[in-house]
Copies of this chain bind each other. A is one copy, B any other.
Amino acid sequence: MSSIVRAELVGVGTELLLGQIANTNAKWMGERLAEIGVDVLYHQVVGDNAGRIAEVLRLACSRADAVLVTGGLGPTEDDITRDVLADLLGSRMVRVPEIETYLRDRFAGFGSGDMPVNNLRQADVPEGARFIMPERGTAPGLIADVEGAVVYAMPGVPAEMVEMMESTILPELASRVGTAVVRSHTLRCTGIGESRVAEILHDLFEASANPSLAYLASAGEVKVRITAKADTVDAAEALIEPLAARVRARLGDVVFTEADEGLEQTVMRLLRETGRTIACAESLTGGSVAARLTRDEGASASFVGSAVVYTADAKQRVLGVSTETIDGPGVVSEACAREMAAGARALYGSDVAISLTGAAGPEPHGGADPGTVWIALDAADVRHARGYRSTGDRDRVRRWAEQAVLDLARRYLDGSDLPTSDRLI
């Protein structure tokens, strides 16, 4: 049986108010809390001021079942969340030997001399509160009941917050919601817009509660996330699979992966799995396709290189693009893309080569309107080119071109249909 749990997020720290950092903790926590069915109704952010922290916590406790506080648990004078909590509880501070030992051992391990006395404050816990032992940082988390709400106080350092959320706080809240297990499964799509995905899945979206369906769009990609709550992992997965099968069947091969990987990682995985190597020839993307393909370690097993050829002269010198093409259809053309891909495959001696050329804008380039993009793939068995027109600013044209050419490689490698040119061209 599940019940409603309302949570409120409180960020403590003057650096948040001064805009020195963004409250990315709240984003991470909000996403995870939504997954386990906890409703977040408000965020508050406040500086390192005892009176204002107390005011914010009182307000949060008056309207939420759980208040998740980040920040103000460090060793310095301006870290006062611990003291404000003691005041709200009306209780004195107790030094916890277990934490003190942990802190002293850690400092000894650093080999950085005696621990500053200030650091011992982190071993203090308000009487009546529980604590969460840190694994990587020095600040324990605190758990206290304040005016009918449970307050979870965590360090503001994102990695330390994540550790305590995952080890303690999310499981406690999930069990309050009555959700024993939450599981998500994500299908990642490219070459399709969010509104088109929503249209295709409209009735499934409307009918879905548990498992639920959500869309998350980012540059050149739409994620479809299916989330189920159940008593066991098996039961959650049994809820997910029939909906995943329907989504998969409707979306077809615009889904490039169902694993936890980006498009460039899918391409690299497919190359590894099939024992093939790739090279690129880049004009408008200026090296960013190669930069993405080499992000993870071990890339050199499948990625050989990329010829970034920004000028017409470089296209000729480095990749052997013909004078007929340069003087005829020009540098932004099907012929140029095809010759660039073939040239890169020959130059680098790779199994597959992909190429891009286009007018990133805002000015026309090589006789082509801004947004015109040609991509090509060259392999022993397949030679394919595709042209399309992109909208938006220079960054967007470049980002979508990266996606288009990586998806062309993905489709070639996993045997999907290869995309044809848009009618616009």
- Interface positions of A (Cβ within 8 A of B): 11, 16-24, 26-34, 40-47, 52, 56, 59, 216, 279-280, 282, 285-291, 293-297, 299-300, 303-311, 313-314, 317-318, 347-349, 360-363, 394-395
Contacts and interface: CB of A to CB of B under 8 A. Distances in A.
Given A297-B361, A303-B310, A305-B308, 7 more contacts: A17-B42, A41-B52, A44-B45, A286-B287, A287-B290, A297-B394, A305-B307
Contacts of A314: 279, 304-305, 348
B347 A318 contact: yes
What 5 pairs across the A-B complex have the smallest Cβ distances?
A: A19-B30, A287-B287, A286-B294, A19-B31, A287-B290
Nearest to A370: B297
B360 A297 contact: yes
20 contacts: A11-B43, A19-B31, A19-B33, A22-B22, A22-B24, A23-B43, A42-B56, A43-B43, A286-B290, A286-B303, A287-B290, A288-B291, A294-B308, A297-B363, A299-B310, A305-B308, A306-B306, A317-B349, A318-B347, A318-B348
A287 B294 contact: yes
Given A52-B42, A309-B305, A34 B18 contact: yes
Nearest to A294: B286
A31 B23 contact: no
Given A17-B43, A43-B43, A308 B310 contact: no
A363 B301 CA distance: 14
A280 B308 CA distance: 9
Contacts of A394: 295-297
Given A18-B34, A52-B42, A310 B317 contact: no
Given A45-B43, A287-B290, A305-B308, A19 B29 contact: yes
A111 to B, nearest CB: 12
A311 B317 contact: no
A23 B20 contact: no
Nearest to A39: B17
B21 A27 contact: yes
A348 B319 CA distance: 11
Contact of A349 (B282, B313, B348): B313
Nearest to A21: B27
Contacts of A395: 295
Given A18-B34, A31-B20, A310 B318 contact: no
